[in-house]
Structure 1
Amino acid sequence: MATFRVSALALHACLHAELILTIVRPFRTCHSVIELLPHTPIENMPERLERLKAARLKIAQLVLIDRVYLPIFDRLEKEIVTLERDEKLMERARELVRAVQSD
């Protein structure tokens, strides 16, 4: 049991350091997690989505150790849902344009 506790604390310290360097520091000054990502063309939305999902996984690990990270996890969840919705809408728009162009 003590070994697990030490491992959990070590994991927490490692993830926390990575979190501070990559997510939390810029997160405090942004209105949206998406603002943290480089502004790229709409075609690169899948890459942005994958980065958010990777961040969500790291935060999920931290949430299991300390609930203080729960608001960040919630915000990432909402951003992912928004990006997935936007990606579906973009695909629908592409389909419509292709249909008109092929006529």
Structure 2
Amino acid sequence: RTRPLEVLADSAYDEIQIRKYLRRRAIKSNIPVNIRNRKYPKRGRPTRLEYESYRKRGTIERFFAWLKMGFRKIASRYERLNVVFKGLLDIACFLLCWKKFQEAF
């Protein structure tokens, strides 16, 4: 497995434990601050949020929503072997891209 360089998450994942876990593993966290998650307001320097990379999160979530809507085998993962599941993912990605390409022209 490979370690991700950055984690993009919505403000529901804004917790101190999650940020510490990611920091220990040298993974950059790009999570907006959620004021409702904190019992007391946070003091000190606010956490940094890179808006350019955070904007890509919507595209990624939309892609996975399309996958789960159109391909039931992928949403519930019936396949036991990783090779078969990866093959299904490749086919589903190709079909989604093909469909979007046809809609564009």
| TM-score, with structure 1 as normaliser | 0.30
| TM-score, with structure 2 as normaliser | 0.30
Name the one with the larger strand percent.
Answer: 2
Greater RCO between the two (CA within 8 Å, min separation 6)? 1
Name the one with the larger helix percent.
Answer: 1
